[in-house]
């Protein structure tokens, strides 16, 4: 029970810290909630060890390019450890953004050490700041981007 409380506390701490980041107001021409442009930020991966219930955190500086017109995206930056460099298409539905990574095949192991931005995620976007986040049983994914 104590380990579960620690896990919940760590996730809440991440939410509080990410909520305290100063956001600039959206530019006047940001009439759409669809991410568009070039972004720079940090990808944070939190893994709960199934044997010890301890949390392991890793992060990498990544870049993302997104085109609202073509619904295409690509990931670059530090793709040496936890984030796979990739590209593909995306679809936005309300606060849900779904990525279809063209570099993922049927043979790609979902538990690879390098994570692909693939599948559905929750997101927020104000025209400048883009936050993409999701989780599974033992993993939490957090992308904090700013337009550059």
Give every CB contact of residue 60 below 8 A, 6+ residues apart in sequence: 42, 43, 77, 78, 79, 80, 81, 82, 83
29 lies in a domain? no
Q: 74 in a domain, yes or no?
A: yes
Q: Quick one: tokens of 17?
A: 């810290």
Among the listed residues 82, 88, 46, 30, the one whose alpha carbon sits nearest the alpha carbon of residue 64: 88
Task: Kindly provide the residue ranges of all beta strands, DSSP E only, lying in the chain, ordered along the sequence.
Answer: 37-48, 55-67, 72-77, 86-93, 96-101, 119-125, 129-135, 139-147
Q: Residue 25 phi/psi, 5° resolution? A: -65, 150
User: What are the backbone dihedrals phi and psi of residue 94, each rounded to the nearest 5 degrees, phi first?
Assistant: 70, -120
Inside any domain, residue 116: yes
- How many domains does the chain contain in total? 1
Quick check: is 55 in a domain? yes
- Domain that includes residue 68, residue range: 2-23+35-147
Q: Do 59 and 43 touch, CB atoms closer than 8 A?
A: yes
- Asked if residue 83 belongs to a domain, the reply is yes
Q: What is the structure's pLDDT at 117?
A: 94
> Do the domain assignments include residue 131?
yes
Neighbours of 97 (CB within 10 A): 25
CATH of the domain at 121: 2.40.128
Domain-located, residue 50: yes
pTM of the predicted model, to two decimals? 0.76
Per-residue pLDDT of the chain (148 residues; tens, 9 = 90+): 445 444 444 444 454 444 444 444 444 334 468 999 999 999 999 998 888 889 999 999 999 999 999 999 999 999 999 999 999 999 999 999 999 999 998 888 877 889 999 999 999 999 999 999 999 888 899 999 999 9
Angle at 104 between CA 103 and CA 108, to 5 degrees: 130
29's tokens:
């021409």
Residue 13 falls inside a structural domain: yes
Cα distances (Å, whole numbers) of residue 51 to 3, 54, 55, 56: 11, 8, 11, 12
Exposure on the CB side of residue 62, measured as CA atoms within 13 A: 32
């Amino acid at each position: 029970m104590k380990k579960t409380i620690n896990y919940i506390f760590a996730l809440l701490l991440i939410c509080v810290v990410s909520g305290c980041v100063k956001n600039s107001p959206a530019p006047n021409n940001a009439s759409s909630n669809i991410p568009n442009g070039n972004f720079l930020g940090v990808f944070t991966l939190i893994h709960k060890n199934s044997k010890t219930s301890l949390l392991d955190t890793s992060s990498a500086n990544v870049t993302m390019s997104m085109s609202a017109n073509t619904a295409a995206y690509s990931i670059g930056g530090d793709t040496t450890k936890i984030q796979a460099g990739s590209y593909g298409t995306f679809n936005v539905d309300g606060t849900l953004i779904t990525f279809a990574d063209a570099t993922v095949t049927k043979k790609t192991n979902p538990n690879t050490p390098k994570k692909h931005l693939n599948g559905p995620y929750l997101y927020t976007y104000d025209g400048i700041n883009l936050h993409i986040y999701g989780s599974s049983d033992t993993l939490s994914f957090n992308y904090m981007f700013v337009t550059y």
